[in-house]
Structure 1
Amino acid sequence: MNITAQNQQTRGRNSYTFDEFLDRRSNLDWYKDDPFLQKALKKFAGPHYEQIHHELLNFSPAVSSQWNLLAERAARPEVRPYMLHYDAFNHRIDRVVRPMETLQLEKEVFGEGLFSSSMQAWESFAKRVLIHQLGEAGVTCPLTCTMGLMALLEQYPNEDHPELQEILQHTKEGRNGDFAIGAQFMTEIQGGSDLPANVLEAVPDGKNYRLYGNKFFCSVAHADYSVVTAKISGTDTVSTFIVPSWLPGDKEKEKRNGYEINRIKWKMGTAELPTGEIQYDGAQAYQVGPAGKGVAVAVGIVLTLSRLEIGIACAAFMLRAAREANLYGDFRTVFGKKVKDYPLSARTLKRIENAAQRTTAGAFKIYGLFLRLDQPLNAGIPVDQPLELRKQLFNLRELILMQKICTTSEGAEVLRNAISVFGGHGVMEEFSSLPRIFRDVVVNEQWEGPRNLLLTQIYRDIQRVADWYPPADFVENVLAGASKETMNRFAEQLTDLLQRPVCGDVSDASLEAAEEWDTFCDSFFKAYQTIALEEI
């Protein structure tokens, strides 16, 4: 070959490669290589730390590698869930078709028995922090909904319905290695988060009920069992029910329990998760909890757990964003310097890491309070409890609400900043999982009550208990460990805001008060997270 031919073959070739970054990213162990996560667990797990640490060292490689790969493959648009309404013989089956990657991931994740009585609470918590780093991935919302269903059944055992005990056993401990999946179907087209506006009808049928009507936004449409809110015929209050997706012997025949799935919704995030519209036409249902108290039961138990888990998920999302942004900042060279060596980029990376660690610390601390309290899942704050316990239960309730709205909002900001570290590659779906997780965060902002709804609830909650729990005491208890100056400042702001028209008619004064209330809740919760971070 002459010199001219050689020049033609090499001219314009670019030898740049991302292989070093890809190797480092794929070889990361999300637990072993995260000293902060280990440090947080050590503080909160106490004497159980060494055992849990050992379990996580064995558990984490699967999440970091195999499960992550399954989650990425299942996120491709061409394999999104879809409905197969009829079989070849014209039988209505309403099969939710999902990719094999999701089915395998689901089987392995649920097969861990994360809610089994044999697994310690902090071990389950830490494993879920790792699993949430996958993004929603078609499995974390089902995990959360299953946890809520189990908590509901444990809170309200009913000997008249042995089926409910079997459902609890199937979801919590498994049946011949098969762990059932739970869901919660509460939203109707006219109400959204306004559960008292439900019109789904529960018709008495012996000791059971038959459901008739529509639920409009039903995630985990493929679940085995669901928590459903409905009004018993002739009443105007909501009750809570457990509905099997198939009656005994019918799952194999794909004969659903008196309902149809009209369609799967197309969402901007959590796309691997089938969210459907369901039409009930005589579905057999079992009542759970006091009749007519369904809103309090659903919110106090099921939605509380979901909101708690969303905060944990946001911490996990941020940990992953910080890890991968730092890794890329240390790899990528532009204009002769690594990305991390530019002050503006270094500032962004530091801000992302601080938010991730602060959010994780807050999630650990809130979960620690949750585990310490006696029966923290209640339909309201029991008035017969000792005053100090009532205050602690109230603190937990409000912290869970604040965590939900603040971490989802900051989570979107953190993911967006992490994406920016990658430049143009940050928005390439095959290059990074961060765009997918960003969309999941945005969807999580809307789950279980959007921001304005929960801001209103927090405001009214604090107003309602002011006679036995003064605002200044609430601030002092929640921000224990902060400086006196910080406590006084927040106490003065809260006392002032409770006298202003935050929830009044729209006016210049109410708009200003609403803006200040939003800012106050965000600053107040970040102060709580900062104390948690300092304690770790």
Structure 2
Amino acid sequence: MSIDYGRFDRGRGMNYWQYDPVLQHEVERTYPGDRGWAEERFDEFGAIVGTTVAPNSDTIDEHGPELRQYDRHGRLVNDIEYHPAQLENEELVYGAGIVADSFRAPPDRDDPASMLHHLTMDYLLAYADVGLTCPVAMTAGVALVLERFDHGSDGSLSEFFDRLTAREYDDLLQGAMFLTERQGGSDVGATETVAERTDDGWELTGEKWFCSNVDSGAILTLARTPDAPDGTEGLSLFLVPGTTSNGERDGAFVRRLKDKLGTVSVPTGEVEFRGAEAHLVGELESGFRYMSEMLNLERIANAFASCGLIGRALLESKVRAANREAFGSTIDRYPLMRRDLVEMAVAHEAATAFTFDAGRAFDRYHRGDEDAFALMRLLVPIAKSRTGRMAVDVASYAMEIHGGNGYVNDFVTNRLLRDAQVLPIWEGTSNILSLDVLRALAREDAHEPALALTRDRLDGIEHDDLADLVATTRDELDGLQEALVTLATEEEEYAQLHAKELAEYVFDVYTAALLLSEADGELAAGNRRKGLVARQFVTDAFGRSAARGITSGDALSLDGFEEIVRFA
């Protein structure tokens, strides 16, 4: 049965879980453990996000956090003041277990849920507010680092872990990661913040330039002891207990909040450490390795948020196209609009399928499966890089579908595009991520499990309707292998020059095989929709016939519109 998007006037006031069959399919395909329990939680959370968090987020975009440095008596307080809608959103989201469930056994369970559970809730939250996904992911990231690397060498940090994973909002301590320094940017090895021992532990002195969730109570940051070597190998990881109670006492001063394009709900500022109290996490000069664990989670969370934002932009586009009348008909009846909606839907489906595979690899590694490490190291940076750019493209076109209305603040597409623009930037730009892919190939041979999985999926496809697509993808798999050999044998400069194209090539080939494998199972059950999605993706990814496909007779966007866009 088709979804009638014409019954809505905009994409809120609904349950996002129930109106995202693509998400439901990927959860069914990848979720470890008791899926029935998880789906009930996602259904509850999808309703909360769609009916309360989403309208609150529109309000917060107009009334963002404000920094109050001094009280009326001139005392330094460094308080961030929030609109009540922001506090309600936080209480609802954290109270739903978006962090706690993956670290503590939920009330009706014996064991914690998987990290994939947390990431799926992150996806749903991004339908309403990408900004709020940032502190949520960082809170989970700080908890993950403390859980994985013990509780510090200068005293137990277990109280921080307990509060980071609290289910009750009044007990919650939010987390943050302050990495960027003005002179360093992506060059983390250029960190100049200094850590010095005191009688009670450590003090930090330095400046952090781009600090999101700036008033969090558990901040992970990198610093260098006076006798440590240069570069990343000399960095140690510290936990700073927060900056909100009293700026002078904490030794941390929020200089100002950034005036950002989007993600208004998360306050981002510049912080000076002025002898800030700090706790060493793990061993000295192992900080970059520890922080990399959190960075992997932040990157895959970024990809899940990108997919959620794409889902919302697509939903708004479907609703608009089903309601907007022009020249005597709703615009979703016209061929060009149908083609646009099909291509947007396929982009959403491809991004979500790849990202859930990357999330599953991350989850397996987090649960102790070392065999998943190499695959995770390749898929995570590619997922983050590709989906961030796709989110910008889809949000931009969603604005175009709304016409002039989409360009003004009264319509959510304005905010979606502003929020989307940070997704290719957070946790590493596409250039940085592409270079990380080269490192994963060189150090972990990360291409081997990815290529083997791709080949196995293609080998397992049996349905005749997919034979031509399988042949095309096999040819591209051979091309990808040739590209990998070329970059492995050429000079480093040449490899770096083509690193971004390589990352995108991996995404396309891997995703084509994944969608075809899914389509094979669906066709065997009598459902042709996923086969149409796979055909559109392979055509878009690997090129059309001569004359840009115009002479090919291809009318897939028209023939498959009801199945692909409306889930008929």
Same fold (TM over 0.5): yes
Distance 1:175 1:421, change over 3 A: closer
Query: Number of residues paired by the alignment?
Result: 486
Task: Tell me how far 1:318 sits from its aligned partner.
Answer: 0.9
* Structure 2 residue 426 is matched with structure 1 residue 447: yes
> 1:381-400 alignment to 2 at 5 Å?
392-400=372-380
* Structure 2 residue 468 is matched with structure 1 residue 476: no
- Is the 1:268–1:439 Cα contact (8 Å) retained in structure 2? yes
Task: Tell me how far 1:480 sits from its aligned partner.
Answer: 4.0
Q: Which among 365, 368, 384 is matched to residue 373 of structure 1?
A: 365
* 3-state DSSP of counterpart to 2:422: helix
Q: Which among 401, 404, 429 is matched to residue 381 of structure 2?
A: 401
Q: Calculate the TM-score normalised by the size of structure 1.
A: 0.85
Which residue of the partner structure matches residue 505 of structure 2?
523
Distance 1:134 1:205, change over 3 A: same
- Is the 1:315–1:359 Cα contact (8 Å) retained in structure 2? yes
Which residue of the partner structure matches residue 57 of structure 2?
71
User: Separation in 2 of the partners of 1:161 and 1:446?
Assistant: 35
Task: Tell me how far 1:475 sits from its aligned partner.
Answer: 2.6
Q: Calculate the TM-score normalised by the size of structure 2.
A: 0.80
Task: Tell me how far 1:28 sits from its aligned partner.
Answer: 2.8
Which residue of the partner structure matches residue 434 of structure 1?
413
Letter in structure 1 aligned against 2:127: Q
- Is the 2:207–2:270 Cα contact (8 Å) retained in structure 1? yes
Which residue of the partner structure matches residue 288 of structure 2?
295
Letter in structure 2 aligned against 1:329: A
User: Separation in 1 of the partners of 2:294 and 2:251?
Assistant: 24
Letter in structure 1 aligned against 2:457: G
User: Separation in 1 of the partners of 2:429 and 2:302?
Assistant: 12
> Structure 1 residues 168-177 or 96-105, which shifts more?
168-177
CA RMSD of aligned residues (A): 2.5
* Structure 2 residue 88 is matched with structure 1 residue 87: no
Which residue of the partner structure matches residue 560 of structure 2?
none
Which residue of the partner structure matches residue 3 of structure 1?
none
User: Separation in 1 of the partners of 2:11 and 2:160?
Assistant: 41
Distance 1:91 1:526, change over 3 A: same
Distance 1:33 1:159, change over 3 A: closer
User: Separation in 2 of the partners of 1:264 and 1:161?
Assistant: 32
Distance 1:39 1:453, change over 3 A: closer
Q: Which among 92, 96, 119 is matched to residue 125 of structure 1?
A: 119
* Structure 2 residue 236 is matched with structure 1 residue 239: yes
- Is the 1:307–1:400 Cα contact (8 Å) retained in structure 2? yes
Distance 1:264 1:177, change over 3 A: closer
Q: Which among 8, 19, 24 is matched to residue 38 of structure 1?
A: 24
User: Separation in 2 of the partners of 1:365 and 1:285?
Assistant: 37
Greater RCO structure (CA 8 Å; 6+ sep): 2
Q: Which among 381, 392, 400 is matched to residue 412 of structure 1?
A: 392
> 1:173-184 alignment to 2 at 5 Å?
173-174=166-167, 177-184=170-177
Letter in structure 2 aligned against 1:444: L
> 1:34-433 alignment to 2 at 5 Å?
34-45=20-31, 48-76=34-62, 79-116=63-100, 117-119=104-106, 120-121=113-114, 122-137=116-131, 139-158=132-151, 161-174=154-167, 177-206=170-199, 208-236=201-229, 237-245=234-242, 251=245, 257-299=250-292, 301-373=293-365, 392-431=372-411, 433=412
Distance 1:211 1:174, change over 3 A: farther
Instruction: List runs of 5+ in structure 1 lacking aligned partners.
Output: 1-18, 377-388, 505-509
Which residue of the partner structure matches residue 507 of structure 1?
none
- Is the 2:434–2:500 Cα contact (8 Å) retained in structure 1? yes
Task: Tell me how far 1:136 sits from its aligned partner.
Answer: 2.0
- Is the 1:201–1:231 Cα contact (8 Å) retained in structure 2? yes
Letter in structure 2 aligned against 1:492: E
Q: Which among 514, 527, 538 is matched to residue 532 of structure 1?
A: 514
Distance 1:338 1:231, change over 3 A: same
Task: Tell me how far 1:519 sits from its aligned partner.
Answer: 2.3
% identity of equivalent residues? 24
Instruction: List runs of 5+ in structure 2 lacking aligned partners.
Output: 107-112, 459-469, 519-568
